[in-house]
């Protein structure tokens, strides 16, 4: 690549992420170049003239193949030098003597065995403030050479070969603010650390430290991380500094804390201690602990608050399952905390209604998005959720991993020693498809590739005010697990921006403890230049045939009892698309051959249907946690299913029946009429034949694109489902329409948001407000004089002497399924209903 003439006015140049094997000469000839970025190339050496440039202030040459640097012959104005991820074994001896303006040096992930002296004389003029030496082969002899850098504020020497740190040398680093000595072989932190009065962060995890260092007397100490060590006791001062915000003591198995110590720690914002293992008698719980275990860490970096939260449940639900997640709020900590507290429960509820991965994962994200409430209007977060489970179609088979994500959180599976990315990054910088979608939604994309100048992400949970540019629709993927799967890594954007997939896999392979591996990943990210919040979850997997302890299969003649219950599907004509579920004004769309009503009927039938056992009775078969036995289901109220009549699309919980439907395809209509009512609600594919009923419930369930408006205690309830057949009239079903919230909405007695959704807000009216939609609000009507009141009543009675039957409900025009891009579902068309005379009379009396 040659350029002529030389661009002498050029000040910033970015040549990163190319395949450059050498730098062209014209780069060194530019007279005003100040910043040069040549990271992620194939450079093996740098030109000597480049480092001698009198204008160069910042040189980024990381992630190359540099083996040596040229010697410096004269003083240079270089202020920042990044040489991480190269093959350097030494640095020029004159580096610190000639680069007197050097304030930032990062040589992490090299092969350094020594560092140059800060000065050739006793007096040092070094202005170095940040020094990153992580991931080299440095020993304690190199620590003595740091004394000359008296202006040093940040020192990272993690994952080297340090067995000790000279106490006399540490005491001279009086301006030190952040010290990271993790991953070495230290047995103690020198007591002279108390001389570093400005120290606010001490990270020394994954060592062999047995004595707690004297850092709690420091006036500005904020964070102390001594996890994964060998601490046995802690000697505390009479009072702790009020600045202490986080203390991590996890991974110290021999540490015993007294009640007095715990009381002294009570004011700390974040105190991390090992949780004592719970004693459990269930075989599945004990089995799952041998199938997988996890470790995670969250680090705030140089930010004042932690905006990353982690969800980690090894024993999810009643069976051998697990759930893990990570949530990154970027600049806010409220949304990640809310998702951490609610998303596991939401997933558990959705699994009761559907076994289709795209359905329950999409609904989990949509419901979590809705439950953010006011916080989700202007704040948002990236989210990633993993669910380890057996496939419903093969309960005796291997496990599967179902993953869903929005935003920039990512997941990597190590399979046969190689990284397998599972997630998809939703950002305008990395996805041309998402950029086109945002443009079609008429959202504003600013020059820095942000939606409305706010976020790079095109899909988030929350940030409702950016809809339809930013939507909560997740990427969903299911990956069968096998014996070659070693571990799973979850991380936020900051982690994988600094640590590649391959390096992350190699890092975890070298550290078998999941907690220590997660710690190491975050420490490496910070040493590579990450100043933001960083979080990582490492799940170690032990799934293989060698873990199986099942009894040998019996002969066919020996039958093992009843088979697993078979779901009762609802027939759906071919070509009818799957019905999306809707929540909080945003409709979810998923690719599935099952409709929402099929999913509901499957959940309901499996909860209340049971096949009688067949064959000779035999002893219970011993099954392992890899292949759990298919047990016969009982209904939630503890009664056998033979005592109940299963209803398709209905879930029984013992006290009430809850109809599982969606909110934009069909509705129920309550009318008053003749004394008799039909027992069943029949499907109608042509019009809307009216079934009279006295004091009962008459409803018409239509096809997906047919809409019926209902009147229930003066409130409009719109529910959606593809087909729900044979819905029985019962007090339980009618009770679904009886409870009113403060805003006039009608919901089921169950608090769950996943069963009945309120489609439209409706005011409280004692009269049949929606029974007569043409009737004006009583407050807007004219007052009838007292002398004409009797005449008006008689005219109304004469007009309503014969009550005509209700006109057929017209089918609204077919519309496509609502898309996630729309913040609100399409409004249901109003239907003018002919109200009976009694209702008209009541409305008129209220008006008077």
Q: Could you read off the pLDDT of 128-151 as tens digits, one per residue?
A: 999 999 999 999 888 888 888 989
pLDDT band of residue 578 (cuts 50, 70, 90) is very low
The confidence score (pLDDT) of residue 365 equals 97
Supply the range of the domain harboring residue 332: 293-543
Q: pLDDT (tens digit, 9 = 90+) per residue, 723-750?
A: 333 333 333 333 333 433 444 333 333 4
The confidence score (pLDDT) of residue 834 equals 41
Q: pLDDT (tens digit, 9 = 90+) per residue, 761-776?
A: 444 434 433 334 444 4
Could you tell me how many helices (H) and strands (E) the chain has, helices first? 18, 31
Task: Give me 732's structure tokens.
Answer: 């339980």
- Which of 248, 178, 236 is CA-nearest to residue 206? 248
Question: Are the CB atoms for 59 and 81 separated by under 8 Å?
Answer: yes
- Write out 379-438 in H/E/C secondary structure: CEEEEEEEEEEEECCEEEEEEEEEEEEECCCEEEEEECCEEEECCCCCECCCCHHHHHHH
User: What is the SS3 assignment for 644?
Assistant: coil
Task: Give me 750's structure tokens.
Answer: 């169950």
pTM here is 0.67
User: What is the SS3 assignment for 620?
Assistant: coil
The confidence score (pLDDT) of residue 692 equals 38
In a domain, 188, yes or no: no
Task: Give me 460's structure tokens.
Answer: 């988030």
Name the average pLDDT for the chain: 73
Rounded to an integer, the average pLDDT of 800-824 is 47
In a domain, 349, yes or no: yes
Question: CA 48, CA 698: separation in Å to the nearest integer?
Answer: 89
If asked whether residues 477 and 566 sit together in one domain, one would say no
Question: Are the CB atoms for 274 and 252 separated by under 8 Å?
Answer: yes
Question: Are the CB atoms for 811 and 828 separated by under 8 Å?
Answer: no
If asked whether residues 593 and 673 sit together in one domain, one would say yes
- What's the CA dihedral at 748, 751, 757, 759 to 10 degrees? 80
Q: In the chain, what is the straight-line distance between the N-terminal and C-terminal CA atoms, in Å?
A: 89
If asked whether residues 463 and 330 sit together in one domain, one would say yes
Task: Give the end of a domain, one of 497, 512, 543.
Answer: 543
Rounded to an integer, the average pLDDT of 707-720 is 35
Question: CA 331, CA 4: separation in Å to the nearest integer?
Answer: 45
Rounded to an integer, the average pLDDT of 375-387 is 95
Number of domains in the chain: 2
The confidence score (pLDDT) of residue 811 equals 42
The confidence score (pLDDT) of residue 589 equals 37
Answer whether residue 248 shows pLDDT above 80. Answer: yes
If asked whether residues 489 and 576 sit together in one domain, one would say no
Of 798 and 197, the one with more pLDDT: 197
Answer whether residue 697 shows pLDDT above 80. Answer: no
Q: For strands 104-106 and 130-132, give the pairing.
A: parallel
Write the Ramachandran bin of 418: left for phi over 0, alpha for psi from -120 to 50, otherwise beta. beta
The confidence score (pLDDT) of residue 825 equals 39
Question: CA 837, CA 848: separation in Å to the nearest integer?
Answer: 16
Question: Residue 787 contacts by C-beta under 8 Å, 6 or more apart in sequence?
Answer: none
In a domain, 26, yes or no: no
Q: pLDDT (tens digit, 9 = 90+) per residue, 16-65?
A: 999 999 998 888 889 899 999 999 999 999 998 898 888 999 999 999 99
Residue that the structure tokens 């000279």 belong to: 166
In a domain, 424, yes or no: yes
Answer whether residue 647 shows pLDDT above 50. Answer: no
In a domain, 667, yes or no: yes
The confidence score (pLDDT) of residue 239 equals 82
Question: Are the CB atoms for 660 and 579 separated by under 8 Å?
Answer: no
Rounded to an integer, the average pLDDT of 628-648 is 44
Question: Are the CB atoms for 533 and 299 separated by under 8 Å?
Answer: yes
Question: Are the CB atoms for 713 and 737 separated by under 8 Å?
Answer: yes
The confidence score (pLDDT) of residue 624 equals 53
pLDDT band of residue 121 (cuts 50, 70, 90) is low
Question: Are the CB atoms for 335 and 373 separated by under 8 Å?
Answer: no
* Neighbouring C-alpha atoms within 13 Å toward the C-beta of 569: 7
Answer whether residue 491 shows pLDDT above 50. Answer: yes
- Which of 488, 487, 478, 482 is CA-nearest to residue 543? 482
Question: Are the CB atoms for 739 and 746 separated by under 8 Å?
Answer: yes
CATH number, domain with residue 357: 3.60.40.10
Q: pLDDT (tens digit, 9 = 90+) per residue, 150-159?
A: 899 999 999 9
If asked whether residues 522 and 627 sit together in one domain, one would say no
Q: pLDDT (tens digit, 9 = 90+) per residue, 62-94?
A: 999 999 999 888 889 999 999 999 999 999 998
| CB neighbourhood size of 826 (10 A) | 15
% of the chain at pLDDT higher than 70:
63
Question: CA 386, CA 380: separation in Å to the nearest integer?
Answer: 20
pLDDT band of residue 351 (cuts 50, 70, 90) is very high
Q: pLDDT (tens digit, 9 = 90+) per residue, 199-214?
A: 999 999 999 999 999 9
If asked whether residues 517 and 399 sit together in one domain, one would say yes
- Which of 666, 660, 657, 646 is CA-nearest to residue 722? 666
Question: CA 499, CA 528: separation in Å to the nearest integer?
Answer: 8
Question: CA 601, CA 568: separation in Å to the nearest integer?
Answer: 7
Answer whether residue 224 shows pLDDT above 70. Answer: yes
In a domain, 423, yes or no: yes
Task: Give me 102's structure tokens.
Answer: 């050097």
Rounded to an integer, the average pLDDT of 287-302 is 83
If asked whether residues 472 and 581 sit together in one domain, one would say no
Question: CA 289, CA 448: separation in Å to the nearest integer?
Answer: 46
In a domain, 151, yes or no: no
Question: Are the CB atoms for 422 and 329 separated by under 8 Å?
Answer: no
Answer whether residue 544 shows pLDDT above 80. Answer: no
Question: CA 616, CA 303: separation in Å to the nearest integer?
Answer: 67
If asked whether residues 357 and 413 sit together in one domain, one would say yes
Gyration radius from the chain CA atoms: 34
If asked whether residues 594 and 529 sit together in one domain, one would say no
Answer whether residue 267 shows pLDDT above 60. Answer: yes
Rounded to an integer, the average pLDDT of 673-686 is 41
- DSSP assigned state of 809: P
Question: CA 157, CA 172: separation in Å to the nearest integer?
Answer: 17
The confidence score (pLDDT) of residue 389 equals 92
- Which of 467, 508, 465 is CA-nearest to residue 488? 508
If asked whether residues 451 and 400 sit together in one domain, one would say yes
The confidence score (pLDDT) of residue 577 equals 38
Answer whether residue 295 shows pLDDT above 90. Answer: yes
For the ranges 17-31, 407-421, 460-474, 689-703, the lowest mean pLDDT is seen at 689-703
If asked whether residues 536 and 568 sit together in one domain, one would say no
Question: Residue 212 contacts by C-beta under 8 Å, 6 or more apart in sequence?
Answer: 226, 231, 233, 234, 235
In a domain, 258, yes or no: no
Rounded to an integer, the average pLDDT of 634-647 is 42
For the ranges 134-138, 384-388, 778-782, 834-838, the lowest mean pLDDT is seen at 834-838
- Phi, psi torsion values for 144, nearest 5 degrees: -65, -20
- Phi, psi torsion values for 359, nearest 5 degrees: -75, -55
* Exposure b/e, 711-732, CB count within 10 A at least 16 = b: bbbbbbbbbbbbbbbebebeeb
Question: Residue 87 contacts by C-beta under 8 Å, 6 or more apart in sequence?
Answer: 65, 66, 67, 110, 111
If asked whether residues 322 and 355 sit together in one domain, one would say yes
The confidence score (pLDDT) of residue 545 equals 54
Question: Residue 782 contacts by C-beta under 8 Å, 6 or more apart in sequence?
Answer: none
Question: CA 825, CA 582: separation in Å to the nearest integer?
Answer: 8
The confidence score (pLDDT) of residue 677 equals 42
């Amino acid at each position: 690549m040659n350029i002529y003439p030389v661009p002498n006015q050029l000040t910033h140049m970015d040549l990163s992420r190319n395949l450059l094997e050498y730098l062209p000469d014209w780069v060194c000839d530019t007279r005003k170049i100040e910043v040069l970025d040549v990271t992620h190339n194939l450079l093996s050496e740098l030109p000597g003239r480049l480092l001698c440039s009198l204008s160069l202030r910042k040189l980024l040459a990381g992630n190359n193949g540099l083996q040596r640097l040229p010697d410096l012959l004269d003083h240079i104005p270089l202020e920042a030098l990044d040489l991480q991820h190269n093959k350097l074994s030494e640095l020029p001896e004159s580096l610190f003597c000639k680069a007197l303006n050097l304030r930032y040096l990062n040589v992490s992930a090299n092969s350094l065995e020594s560092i140059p002296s800060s000065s050739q004389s006793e007096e040092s003029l070094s202005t170095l403030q940040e020094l990153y030496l992580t991931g080299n082969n440095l020993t304690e002899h190199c620590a003595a050479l740091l004394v000359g850098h008296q202006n040093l504020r940040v020192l990272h020497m993690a994952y080297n070969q340090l067995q000790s740190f000279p106490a006399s040398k540490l005491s001279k680093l009086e301006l030190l603010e952040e010290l990271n000595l993790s991953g070495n072989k230290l047995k103690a932190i020198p007591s002279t650390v108390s001389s570093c009065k400005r120290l606010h962060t001490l990270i020394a995890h994954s060592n062999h430290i047995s004595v707690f260092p004297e850092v709690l007397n420091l006036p500005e100490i904020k964070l102390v991380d001594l996890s994964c060590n060998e601490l046995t006791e802690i000697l505390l001062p009479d009072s702790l500094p009020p600045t202490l915000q986080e203390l991590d003591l996890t991974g110290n198995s021999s540490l015993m804390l007294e009640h007095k110590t715990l009381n002294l720690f009570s004011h700390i914002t974040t105190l991390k201690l090992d949780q004592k293992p719970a004693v459990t008698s269930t075989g599945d719980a004990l089995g799952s602990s041998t199938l997988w275990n996890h470790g995670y860490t969250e680090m705030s970096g140089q930010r004042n608050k932690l905006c990353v939260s982690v969800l980690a449940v090894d024993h999810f639900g009643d069976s051998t399952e697990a759930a893990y997640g990570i949530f990154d709020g970027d600049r806010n900590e409220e949304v990640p905390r809310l998702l951490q507290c609610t998303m596991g429960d939401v997933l558990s509820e959705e699994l009761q209604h559907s076994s289709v991965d795209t359905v329950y994962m999409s609904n989990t994200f949509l419901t979590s998005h809705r439950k953010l409430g006011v916080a989700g209007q202007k704040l948002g977060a990236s989210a990633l959720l993993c669910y380890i489970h057996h496939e419903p179609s093969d309960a005796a088979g291997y496990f599967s991993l179902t993953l869903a994500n929005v935003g920039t959180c990512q997941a990597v599976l190590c399979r046969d020693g190689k990284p397998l990315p599972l997630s998809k990054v939703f950002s305008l910088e990395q996805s041309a498809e998402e950029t086109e979608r945002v443009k079609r939604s008429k959202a504003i994309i600013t020059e820095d590739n942000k939606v409305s100048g706010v976020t790079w992400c095109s899909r988030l949970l929350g940030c409702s005010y950016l809809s339809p540019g930013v939507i909560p629709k997740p990427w969903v993927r299911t990956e069968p697990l096998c014996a070659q799967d070693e571990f799973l890594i979850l991380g936020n954007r900051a982690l994988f921006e600094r640590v590649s997939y391959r390096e992350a896999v190699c890092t975890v392979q070298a550290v078998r403890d999941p907690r220590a591996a997660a710690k190491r990943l975050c420490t490496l990210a910070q040493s590579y230049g990450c100043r933001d919040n960083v979080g990582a979850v490492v799940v170690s997997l032990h799934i293989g045939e060698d873990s199986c302890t099942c009894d040998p299969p019996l002969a066919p003649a020996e039958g093992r009892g009843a088979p697993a219950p078979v779901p009762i599907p609802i027939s759906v004509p071919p070509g009818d698309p799957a019905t999306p579920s809707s929540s909080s004004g945003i409709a979810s769309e998923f690719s599935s051959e099952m409709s929402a009503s099929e999913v509901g009927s499957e959940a309901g039938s499996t909860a209340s249907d049971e096949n009688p056992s067949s064959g000779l009775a035999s002893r219970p078969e011993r099954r392992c946690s890899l292949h759990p036995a298919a047990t016969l289901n009982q209904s939630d109220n503890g009664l056998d299913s033979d005592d109940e009549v299963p209803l398709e699309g209905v879930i029984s919980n013992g006290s009430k029946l809850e109809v599982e439907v969606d909110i934009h395809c069909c509705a129920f209509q309550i009318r008053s009429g003749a004394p008799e009512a039909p027992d069943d609600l029949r499907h109608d594919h042509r019009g809307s034949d009216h079934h009279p009923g006295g004091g009962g419930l008459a409803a018409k369930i239509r096809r997906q694109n047919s809409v019926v408006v209902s009147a229930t205690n003066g409130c409009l309830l719109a529910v959606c489902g593809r087909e729900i057949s044979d819905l029985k009239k019962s007090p339980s079903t009618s009770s679904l329409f009886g409870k009113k919230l403060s805003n006039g909405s009608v919901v089921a007695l169950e608090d769950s948001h996943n069963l009945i959704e309120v489609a439209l807000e409706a005011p409280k009216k004692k009269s049949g407000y929606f029974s007569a939609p043409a009737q004006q609000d009583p407050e807007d009507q004219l007052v009838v004089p007292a002398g004409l009141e009797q005449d008006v009543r008689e005219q109304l009675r004469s007009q309503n002497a014969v009550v005509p039957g209700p006109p057929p409900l017209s089918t609204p025009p077919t519309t496509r399924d609502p898309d996630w891009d729309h913040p609100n579902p399409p409004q249901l068309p109003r239907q003018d209903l002919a109200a009976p005379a009694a209702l008209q009379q009541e409305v008129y009396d209220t008006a008077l």
